[in-house]
Amino acid sequence: MPELPEVETIRRGLESAILNKQITDLQVKKPKLLRNKQAYFFNTLKNNSIVNIDRIGKLLIFVLADKQNYLLVHLKMTGQLIYTKGGQMVAGGHKQAILGKLPNRYSHIIFHFTDGSKLFFNDMRQFGYMELVKDTEPIIKRYGIEPGTDNFTWENFQKVFVNRRIAIKVLLLNQQLISGIGNIYADEICYRAKVRPDRGVNTLTIAEKKKLFTATKYIIKKAVVNRGTTFSDYRDTSGQPGNFVKFLKVYGRAGQKCLSCRQVNIKKVKLGGRGTHFCSRCQK
C-alpha cells in the first residue's frame, strides 16, 4: 500500500500535469469504486477542472474549479493514478497497472481532458475509491497529526500517548492519531528509535518518546525526498522505483543479520495482523 511518502510523490507529479485541464468526458466501468451515485459523479465532474491537489495522510484531495466540490481519491492497497498524453506518462501506485496497453482490465475510471490527455484510475483488487464531497473539514478532522506539517510538534506528539496501553506500532498506524504512516515506515521508525514495535506505549520513558518523535520526522522526511519505497507494487510518478528501499534497515529483511549490531537476525512477527520486523538485540 502506498504510504504518505508515496502518495505525496503522486500528488506532486499529478499537480504538474493535470491542473486547470477541463474534463470533457468520464468512463466509469466499476461503479462500486464510487462513493456517489454514478450520474451525480459524472454530471459534477464533466466540464469541471482540477485547480489544486491537496493531501492528508494517504488521502488525495482534488480541488475543483466550481469551488463547491472536492474529489477524494484513496488508492488503498493496489490503486493507481496514471496520466497519459502522447508518450508522456505520470503514474504512481501499483506496478501491475502500468504494464501493458492502457486502458487495460484494471482501468476502472477514466477521465478525458480537452487536450486529449487522460487520467486512469486503475485498481487490481478494487479496494480504492473516489468520492465527491462539498466540505473537506469533517474528513480532515478524522486524521491525526502528520509528520512534516506544522501540527507535528513534540507537544502534540506526547498527547497521543496519554491513557493508552496499545503497542507502539499499533499507535503509529492509527490514522486518527498520526496520519500517513503505514507498515513499512512504522517498522523503520521503531528501529531508528531503538524500541520494539510490540512494546506497550505506556512502558515508554520520556526519552524513548522523544526518540520516536525524532525518528518519525527523520524517516518520513527522508522517504519523501527519496520518492518512497519500491517493492513489487510501487512506482513513482515518473514510472521509476522509489529510492528509499536502499535505506530500509528492518522491513523485508527477516532472517538477515541486523545492519547495526551484526549479531542477530531480523525477526518477523504478526502484530495487529501486520508483518512486523525488528532486531531483538538493538530494540528494547
CA-based nearest residue to 250, from 231, 275, 270, 277: 277
Return d(Cα 57, Cα 181) in angstroms, integer. 8
What is the separation of C-alpha 54 from the centre of its chain, rounded to a whole number of angstroms? 13
Cell 503522486: give the residue.
10
Check 3, 6, 8, 146 and give the catalytic one.
Answer: 3
Check 55, 58, 118, 209 and give the catalytic one.
Answer: 58
CA distances from 274 to 56, 85, 186, 240 (A): 23, 38, 11, 27
Is 209 in a helix, a strand, or coil? helix
Mark whether 125 is an active-site residue: no
Return d(Cα 283, Cα 245) in angstroms, integer. 21
Check 210, 217, 222, 274 and give the catalytic one.
Answer: 274
Is 229 in a helix, a strand, or coil? strand
Mark whether 147 is an active-site residue: no
Mark whether 101 is an active-site residue: no
Mark whether 3 is an active-site residue: yes
Region at 270 (left for phi over 0; alpha for psi -120 to 50; beta for the rest): beta
Say which residues have a Cβ less than 8 Å from residue 97's Cβ, sequence separation at least 6: 78, 80, 82, 91, 104, 106, 107, 120, 122, 123, 124
What are the catalytic residues? 2-3, 58, 274
